[in-house]
Structure 1
């Protein structure tokens, strides 16, 4: 089995690369989806968030009000860390379970862990992976994407970028950097190069 950690700042284009690797045959584990799973209604994660931040972060039906929570954590580092302490261990535990399942099903599986906050994680967690791939685009480009594609204001987009690790911190942990400032075709070529590298590592059996 070959484990790839795929990371990048918000609006860097990480999802495009993840989709390409999945299309080529990788097992895709999406940390964002797992983060939603561990705070679904009725979960210990959601109960812990409500206890920490109050019922103002819940909707009328008892589910998580992501906008209300986002308004808190994207502007306050201490609150963001309190949330991370609740959710990150649960997401990582679920990730390890899915990796084990993929390996049991296919010992030669190529697994892509699609995770936005890898640079913020403990260093020993990064050691679990054979390859760390960082998808990179400059902050101005990412802000423009969030404004045009996600209907955020410039200030909101900037705050979300500041809430994550810096570009320098992400690039410092990279084994491979995919430059996503060019065309989609150029990005996909780089993703395919990562795939071929992984195939060689598992003996080209895929």
Structure 2
């Protein structure tokens, strides 16, 4: 069984960059966002459930999910967000676990952006460790604006809507503070990977 590391943290903190560095070092990467996209492909049961529970207006003429409209809807409606999560999260958790168990790598990094202490205890007890990637809030906002072209107000709202550091850190076995350049992030990520590889083989 590989050593299974959850990679989580705030929006635009650098989780994807950390996963790329881990992958370059030989770790297998399994991404919850990729699985979520697979689950809502045309013809998939989860897509039909979304249409039934949240409304057919979120399905486009070509049968694909209107992600922009749905994202805006659940951002403004907490009950819709809860219903969407009830459709997707159990399926995502099951797929992540199955794929991580099937991996042939010594270390598997499981990217779970929305991991919380509650979901860690309830649905992700099979994980061996949790790596939290953190960044200063002003850097998160700047990265969101550069990535999405969002206004500063929207970017700040997106950061504020997520679990904050105080909520994330209690579940962390390891913490990476991504407040420098890429070379610094690479150095600390590779150091962690060496530790994980030692744990996996020892």
TM over 0.5: yes
Task: State the TM bucket, normalised to the shorter chain.
Answer: over 0.9
1:179 is matched with which residue: 177, 197, 200? 177
Q: Is the 8 A contact 1:4 1:129 kept in 2?
A: yes
Partner secondary structure for residue 177 of structure 1: strand
Matching residue of 1:5: 6
Q: Is the 8 A contact 2:106 2:197 kept in 1?
A: no
Give the unaligned 5+ runs of structure 2. none
1:196 and 2:194 correspond: yes
1:74 and 2:75 correspond: yes
Give the unaligned 5+ runs of structure 1. none
CA distance in structure 1 between the aligned counterparts of 2:36 and 2:127, rounded to whole angstroms: 20
CA distance in structure 2 between the aligned counterparts of 1:53 and 1:159, rounded to whole angstroms: 23
Q: Is the 8 A contact 1:134 1:178 kept in 2?
A: yes
Which range moves more in the overlay, 129-138 or 13-22? 129-138
Q: Is the 8 A contact 1:35 1:87 kept in 2?
A: yes
Matching residue of 1:110: 107
CA distance in structure 2 between the aligned counterparts of 1:36 and 1:18, rounded to whole angstroms: 18
* Equivalent residue runs for 1:97-136 within 5 Å: 97-102=98-103, 106=104, 109-119=106-116, 121-136=119-134
Q: Under a length normalisation based on structure 1, what TM-score does the superposition of the two structures give? A: 0.91
Aligned length: 200
Matching residue of 2:42: 41
Q: Under a length normalisation based on structure 2, what TM-score does the superposition of the two structures give? A: 0.93
Q: CA RMSD in A?
A: 1.5
Q: Is the 8 A contact 2:93 2:124 kept in 1?
A: no
Distance 1:91 1:36, change over 3 A: same
